[in-house]
Amino acid sequence: MAKHLVDIDEDVLRAARDELGTKTIKDTVNLALRRVGAEHRATTKDRLDVLARAGLADREQAWR
């Protein structure tokens, strides 16, 4: 784990703590980052699943 010096909006931090039910800045930031990362991975996976099911036509001759 690395340490970073960042400016954090106190109102946003307070709102995030309330929403996430965390007590410390560290817990709040880490949980928020984990959730965003998980949502991004899920969204990417969902999009790839849609593409895989799309039944696209064979593109072997598309360049001609």
Q: What is the pLDDT of residue 40?
A: 86
Does any domain span residue 31?
A: yes
Decide if 6 is inside a domain.
no
Q: Are 11 and 19 in contact (CB under 8 A)?
A: no
**Mean pLDDT over residues 47-61, rounded?**
83
Query: How many domains does the chain contain in total?
Result: 1
Question: pTM of the entire structure?
Answer: 0.66
Kindly state whether residue 63 falls inside one of the protein's structural domains. Answer: no
CB 13 within 8 A of CB 28: yes
Which residues form the domain of 28? 24-49
pLDDT reported for residue 64 = 62
Q: In the chain, pLDDT over 90 holds for what percent of residues?
A: 55
What contacts 20, CB < 8 A, 6 or more positions away?
27, 28, 31, 32
Specify if 28 maps to a domain.
Answer: yes
Region 43-50 average pLDDT: 88
Residue 44 lies in a domain: yes
In this prediction, residue 59 carries a pLDDT of 76
Please give the residue that has the higher pLDDT: either 8 or 52: 8
